[in-house]
C-alpha cells in the first residue's frame, strides 16, 4: 500500500505543477495581447493630402487610407519616382468619414496617429492608427 499511496501523491503533485504552468502561460499570453492592443510604440502627426480612403477586408472590415506628403523627396535610384505616400488605418468610422470628406474636397489635412508595436488583422492593415484629423483651409487647387 505504501507504493500505491506514494504514486498517487506523486501524481497529485505533478498535476498541481502542470496546472500552475498552464495558468502562468495563460497569464503571460493575456498580458502579451493586452500589451499589443493598448501600448503605443510612438505617436505623432503627418500633414498632406488624402489620396485614397476605403473600407477593406473579407471578414473584418477596416478603413485604410493613403496620404500624400505633398513635398518632393530625393530619389535614391536614378530614373525612379520618389514615393511620398504614407499608408494608415482608421479604426473609428466617424474619423474615416471626416477623412473621406477631406479627400473629396482636396483639403490639406493633418492626421494624428498612434503607431502600435504590431499590426493586428482586426484593427487594420498597418500599424499606424489614425484617431484624429485637423483640416486646413488650403486645397490642392489653391496650392
Q: Tens digits of per-residue pLDDT, 55-106?
A: 998 899 999 999 998 655 555 555 555 568 999 999 999 999 999 999 999 8
Tell me which residue has cell 504590431: 118
Highest mean pLDDT among 9-23, 39-53, 59-73: 39-53
pTM above 0.85, yes or no: no
Contact 61, 55 (CB under 8 A): yes
CATH of 40-139, one of 2.40.50.110, 3.40.50.1370, 3.90.180.10, 3.40.50.970: 2.40.50.110
Closest CA to 132 of 94, 106, 103: 94
Residue 97: strand, helix, or coil: helix
Q: Give the number of other CB atoms < 10 A from CB of residue 53.
A: 22
Eight-state DSSP code of residue 61: -
Q: What percent of the chain has pLDDT over 70?
A: 86
Check residue 76 and give its pLDDT: 53
Q: Does residue 1 register a pLDDT over 60?
A: no
Contact 130, 109 (CB under 8 A): no
Q: Tens digits of per-residue pLDDT, 110-128?
A: 999 999 999 888 888 999 9
Amino acid at each position: 500500500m505504501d507504493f500505491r499511496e506514494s504514486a498517487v501523491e506523486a501524481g497529485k503533485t505533478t498535476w498541481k505543477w502542470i496546472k500552475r504552468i498552464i495558468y502562468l502561460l495563460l497569464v503571460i499570453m493575456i498580458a502579451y495581447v493586452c500589451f499589443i492592443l493598448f501600448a503605443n510604440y510612438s505617436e505623432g502627426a503627418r500633414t498632406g493630402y488624402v489620396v485614397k480612403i476605403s473600407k477593406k477586408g473579407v471578414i473584418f472590415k477596416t478603413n485604410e487610407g493613403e496620404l500624400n506628403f505633398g513635398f518632393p523627396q530625393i530619389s535614391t535610384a536614378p530614373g525612379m519616382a520618389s514615393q511620398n505616400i504614407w499608408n494608415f488605418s482608421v479604426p473609428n468610422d466617424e474619423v474615416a468619414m471626416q477623412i473621406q470628406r477631406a479627400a473629396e474636397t482636396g483639403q490639406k489635412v493633418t492626421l494624428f496617429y498612434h503607431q502600435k508595436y504590431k499590426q493586428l488583422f482586426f484593427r487594420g492593415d498597418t500599424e499606424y492608427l489614425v484617431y484624429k484629423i485637423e483640416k486646413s483651409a488650403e486645397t490642392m487647387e489653391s496650392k
